[in-house]
Structure 1
Amino acid sequence: MQYRHAPAANHAALDAVLASAPGRPTLPVRLTVELAGRARVHLPADAPLTVWDPCCGAGATLTVLGLLVPGLARLVGTDADPGPLDLARRNLALLDPGGLTARAADLEALAARHDKPSYAEAATAVRTLVPASAPAWSVTPADARDTAAVRSALAGAGPYGTGPDLVLADLPHGRRTTWAAAADDDEDPGVEFLRAVATALRPDAVVVAVGRGRTVPLPGGARPLERVRVGHRAAVLVRAGALQEG
């Protein structure tokens, strides 16, 4: 894949500041920014965006977007597993006024307490960060199959309360996910996930789904806006309306 929206950069400062949930893989920073840029091409130019991550985990994807992508009005994170959501709130708090300064101060205190230069280096890296957006954000436990819970989490999101403009999600992997238990034996769990997500969106919203392997399956008849591959990951960009009809 040729990167068109995310030039090569050193993201060591983000590695120093973002908390991660054990066992929860995160999307690479550059890929996250690139996919957001590609999605924006299919949305109204210069309009403030609301982004929803329906399996947000520790919130790293949303936080990366807030730190590096301008023009974001609101970030919404939901996850069927409430376990990592405290980490998501901690990460997204970096986007609040004074959030990065507070994190740097914490790291400096750790450096002094434990005499570890690595903490001091991390604090210095954190102080170089300037968020590209200042979005409102929220994090709520919600299973995307639970329409009522999702609608509650997304209440008021998007322009005039019409819902998110963009969904960016790293799809649940494999038959061991909770999606597998509810999906038809002949249907990929990721397809069921996309169908469920689309029910909460207006038709012109853009869904970006990332999966492992050569391609991301879509419901029958759903035509993608774009497909890309990078390394062992594949991604698809598709209108919510196409998922609703597929």
Structure 2
Amino acid sequence: MIYEFEIEKEDYSDFASGRVLYNAPNTTAFPVRLGKEIMSRCLTQLRNDKNLILYDPCCGGAHLLTFIGFLYSENIAAIYGSDIDEQVLEYAQRNLNLLTEEGLLSRKEQLQRDYDLYYKESHLHALESVERLERLNQTAVKQLQCFLFNIAGVTHPPIQNVNVVFTDLPYGNIAYWKGSNDNQIQQMLTNIYQILDLNNSIVAIVCDKKQIVMHGGFEKIRAFNHGKRKITFLKPCT
């Protein structure tokens, strides 16, 4: 894959899982540069790229949603995440709360207490990261919510008018699907279709190369491989 937007490599250590963002057990962090590239490509597919509703139906610890929230806060009005793991959602909500002034201040105070107790260099670096994130966090996202939901089940999520669906699907040994039929991706897309703003929406799905992303309600706009991942962009048919 050739980067079209994130051409220059940057230092994204401020978004490292476990530094300022909380590290949810048995979850993986999403590469920030790749996430920015995908989000930038999503924005070019929209008629209007402001006041967007962003949703990740397989959010895990919401690492992806959180750094996207920091980097694209001027575009986003609401962020929603869902997952089937109730325990991991606790971390997801804590991460999304970092996008609020109160949540980031609370995290800063916690890191300062840790540094005062242990004088670890890692805590000092984390405090420096918080200060940089505070400068990024000038435009607050109005709505931040994580909820327990099986996106591969028989009902659609309790949200509406979603503009961007951006998700990294479960694959490998860490994460797994829990679906109502043999093709969880198709069922997921059936559910997603019902919550989209059909006049202004895009779906970006990251998955294993072997997974098939296809649904009659969507037109495939673009697909490309990046290492072991496949990224597919879909627009709903109207």
In 2, distance between residues paired with 1:122 and 1:216?
Answer: 39
Q: For 1:17-56, list aligned pairs within 5 A.
A: 17-56=20-59
CA distance in 1, matches of 2:226, 2:35: 12
1:145-189 Cα distance to aligned partner (Å, 9 max, x none): 2526x12xx1xxxxxxx511010011122698343x5323xx4x3
Deviation at 1:91, TM superposition (A): 0.7
Structure 2 unaligned residues grouped into runs of 5+: none
Q: Deviations over 1:88-136 (max 9, x none)?
A: 1111111112433332221121011123221122111221122264112
Give 1:211's match in structure 2, choosing from 207, 212, 223.
207
The structural deviation recorded for 1:203 is 2.9
Summarize deviations over 1:60-113 as a string: whole Å, max 9, x none.
111111111131111011112211111111111111124333322211210111
- The match for 2:144 is 137
- Given that residues 59 and 167 in structure 2 are in contact (C-alpha distance below 8 angstroms), is that contact kept between their aligned partners in structure 1? yes
Q: TM-score under structure 1 normalisation? A: 0.83
Instruction: Using structure 2 for the length normalisation, give the TM-score.
Output: 0.85
- Residue of structure 2 in register with 1:228 after alignment: 224
Q: What residue is the counterpart of 1:5 in the other structure? A: 5
How far residue 56 of structure 1 moved from its aligned partner, in angstroms, is: 1.0
| More moved, 216-225 vs 201-210 | 216-225
Match of 1:147 in 2: 155
What secondary structure does 1:190 align onto? helix
Aligned length: 228
In the alignment, which residue of structure 2 is the partner of 1:167?
165
Residue identity opposite 2:155 in structure 1 = T
CA distance in 2, matches of 1:31, 1:106: 30
Identity %: 26
TM superposition shift of 1:214: 6.0
Q: Segments of 4+ in structure 1 off by > 4 A?
A: none
Give, as a single letter, the amino acid of the residue that structure 2 aligns with 1:59. A
Equivalences for residues 28-177 of structure 1 within 5 A:
28-69=31-72, 70-129=74-133, 130-131=136-137, 133-135=139-141, 136-144=143-151, 145-147=153-155, 150-151=157-158, 154=159, 162-173=160-171, 177=176
**Contact preservation (8 Å) 1:3, 1:34:** yes
Could you tell me how far apart the structure 1 residues matched to 2:222 and 2:147 are?
30
CA distance change for structure 1 residues 50 and 163 in 2, over 3 Å: closer, same or farther?
A: same
Within 1, Cα distance between the matches of 2:176 and 2:104?
A: 34
Structure-1 separation of matches of 2:154 and 2:98: 29
Q: CA distance change for structure 1 residues 215 and 55 in 2, over 3 Å: closer, same or farther?
A: closer
Residue 29 of structure 1 deviates from its aligned partner by: 0.9
Residue in 2 that maps onto 1:158: none
How far apart, CA to CA, are the structure 2 residues paired with 1:42 and 1:17? 32
Structure 1: 5+ residue stretches without partners = 155-161
User: 1:55 & 1:221 partners in 2: Cα distance?
Assistant: 20
Relative to structure 1, is the Cα distance of residues 100 and 222 closer, same or farther in structure 2, using a 3 angstrom cutoff?
A: closer
